[in-house]
Amino acid sequence: MIWNPNHWRTALRIEAAYRRYRTPPATAAPPWSTWRRWTETLRQYHAAERRGWQHARRRQFDRVGRSFDDLLSELRTLRAAIERGRRNLIPSVGELYAELIAAEEEFGGIAVADDELYVITEPITLGDVYLGPFEIRLNLNRLDEQEPYRIVAVEPHPAASCSATTHPHVHNDKVCLGEGKAAVAAALAEGRLSDLFQLINRVLHTYGEGSAYIPLDQWYGTPCSECDDSVEESELYSCRSCDSSVCSDCVRLCNCGSAACHDCATHCYACEETTCSRCLSICPDCEQDFCSSCLEEGLCDVCREREEEERRADDEDELADEELVATEPERPVHAAGVGEVVVLAGPRRGRSRRLRNLQRR
């Protein structure tokens, strides 16, 4: 292996960064006193058993159990302290140097820019979507944080609906590791930098539909709810009633600018133009929905014409009655009818028309 002084200097810098955030592990002493107490209790139990002291044997048996539980509890505490100490151990400069060499061999290079150590992945294609290569960047000043890394697209091919999503699992340079998060955290804590880069690279080469920020089948656009074609967000309309996304070819637009999908679109009963519910009015006679252009004085054309015909017919009946009265000859008045009011009987058709008009009013 060829000596690389740049990597050695980088390893020194990383070791200093780990040292800033790590405290020396506390020494944990074995539970000697609990062990001695348990062995003494066990000796007394065997002595009572040999001599046949049943009462003493039962009493010592209970003490042996309690002492053994205490011993197990302290041993578990000791093991946890040792594990914490192991995680808090600072990786040596030699170990970090070896990790840098391994990462360089895996990714074809490793570099430091400002405070970030990074590698570049090979170009990534998921399904039929080309995403390009990515930089996996580790911030050396944030090694004490849970996620001191970010993912930067070298040749961004973001989703059509969101430029900040450059990978189904990367949004605003933050990667969703899913089940791999614990493994990445362990590699970071132990200074296994090559494993950290490889684990994240493996996530970038894997597609999980349920955890994707934007599914691959929607990468080049959002599907129209009508024709299912994927289009850019700027070409989509949101249905005012159900909020579904509709493309410009499938949308129904009202004159007021409101959009509607096929299922939610309403139409004028007369002209059949798409009209939103706010722009429709009900004709009080036929109780159908009409747009403002198809209503005059609150009535549709059919109902208005019918009213005008009835009004003309009433006027003609009244005019005929007046002419009939004017041409009616005077009738002789008999003496028996003196003092009585004479009521002329007009045509029955005219009376029934006037009666009908009065009833309507």
Q: What is the per-residue pLDDT across 72-89, written as a single tens digit (0 to 9) for each?
A: 888 887 777 666 555 557
The verdict on residue 361 lying in a domain is no
From the list 188, 184, 173, 182, the residue with the least C-alpha distance to 137 is 173
For the chain, what percent of residues have pLDDT higher than 90?
A: 28
- Whether the pLDDT of residue 220 is over 70: the answer is yes
Percentages of the chain per state (helix, strand, coil), in multiples of 5: 45, 15, 35
Residue 268 has a CB neighbour count (10 Å cut-off) of: 21
**Confidence label for 11 from pLDDT (cuts 50, 70 and 90):** very high
Q: Which residue has the higher pLDDT, 323 or 90?
A: 90
The verdict on residue 153 lying in a domain is yes
The verdict on residue 193 lying in a domain is yes
Q: Which residues of 316-345 are buried (b: 16+ CB within 10 A; e: fewer)?
A: ebeeebeeeeeeeeeeeeeeeeeeeeeeee
Q: Are residues 109 and 208 in the same domain?
A: yes
pLDDT at position 172, please? 95
Q: Are residues 120 and 188 in the same domain?
A: yes
Distance CA 209, CA 196 (A): 23
Q: What is the DSSP string of 84-133?
A: HHHHHPPPPHHHHHHHHHHHHHHHS--EEETTEEEEEPPPEEETTEEEE-
Q: Are residues 157 and 113 in the same domain?
A: yes
Q: Which residues of 21-37 are buried (b: 16+ CB within 10 A; e: fewer)?
A: ebeeeeeeeebeebeeb
Q: Region 158-167: what's the mean pLDDT? A: 90
Across the strands, what pairs with 339?
Answer: none
Q: Are residues 297 and 189 in the same domain?
A: no
The verdict on residue 104 lying in a domain is yes
pLDDT at position 350, please? 46
Q: What is the DSSP string of 143-197?
A: TTSS--EEEEESS---BTTBTTEEETTEETTEE--GGGHHHHHHHHHTT-HHHHH
Positive or negative, the CA dihedral 55, 58, 62, 68 is positive
Q: Are residues 70 and 140 in the same domain?
A: no
In terms of residue numbers, what domain contains 100? 94-216
**Confidence label for 125 from pLDDT (cuts 50, 70 and 90):** very high
Q: Are residues 252 and 304 in the same domain?
A: no
Distance CA 221, CA 73 (A): 58
Domain stop point among 197, 216, 235:
216
**Confidence label for 211 from pLDDT (cuts 50, 70 and 90):** confident
The verdict on residue 1 lying in a domain is no
Residue 154 has a CB neighbour count (10 Å cut-off) of: 12
pLDDT at position 149, please? 95
End-to-end Cα distance, the chain: 109
Positive or negative, the CA dihedral 16, 20, 22, 24 is positive
Distance CA 78, CA 67 (A): 17
Say if CB 161 and CB 232 are below 8 A apart: yes
Q: Which residue has the higher pLDDT, 341 or 236?
A: 236
**Where do the H-state alpha helices sit in 52-91?**
54-88
Helix, coil or strand: residue 62: helix
Two tokens, residue 99: 């990790």
Q: What is the pLDDT of residues 262-319, one digit of tens each?
A: 777 777 877 777 777 677 788 888 878 777 778 777 778 788 888 878 788 777 777 7
Q: Are residues 116 and 201 in the same domain?
A: yes
Counting every residue written for the chain, the total comes to 361
Split into its structural domains, the chain has a count of 4
Say if CB 92 and CB 18 are below 8 A apart: no
pLDDT at position 26, please? 54
Q: Are residues 118 and 200 in the same domain?
A: yes
Average pLDDT, rounded, for the chain:
81
Residue 309 has a CB neighbour count (10 Å cut-off) of: 10
Q: Are residues 136 and 151 in the same domain?
A: yes
pLDDT at position 347, please? 47
Question: pTM of the full predicted structure?
Answer: 0.54
Rounded to the nearest 5°, which phi and psi values hold at 349? Answer: -65, -40
Q: Are residues 107 and 198 in the same domain?
A: yes
Lowest-confidence segment of 20-34, 38-52, 93-107, 121-135 by average pLDDT: 20-34
Q: Are residues 276 and 211 in the same domain?
A: no
Domain stop point among 89, 112, 128:
89
Looking at residue 201, which CATH number applies to its domain?
Answer: 3.10.110
Q: Which residues of 87-122 are buried (b: 16+ CB within 10 A; e: fewer)?
A: eeebbebebbbbbbbbbbeebeebebeeebbbbbbe
pLDDT at position 299, please? 79
The verdict on residue 117 lying in a domain is yes
The verdict on residue 352 lying in a domain is no
The verdict on residue 132 lying in a domain is yes
pLDDT at position 111, please? 93
Q: Are residues 104 and 166 in the same domain?
A: yes
Q: Region 203-209: what's the mean pLDDT? A: 90
- Whether the pLDDT of residue 196 is over 90: the answer is yes
Q: Which residue has the higher pLDDT, 97 or 70?
A: 97
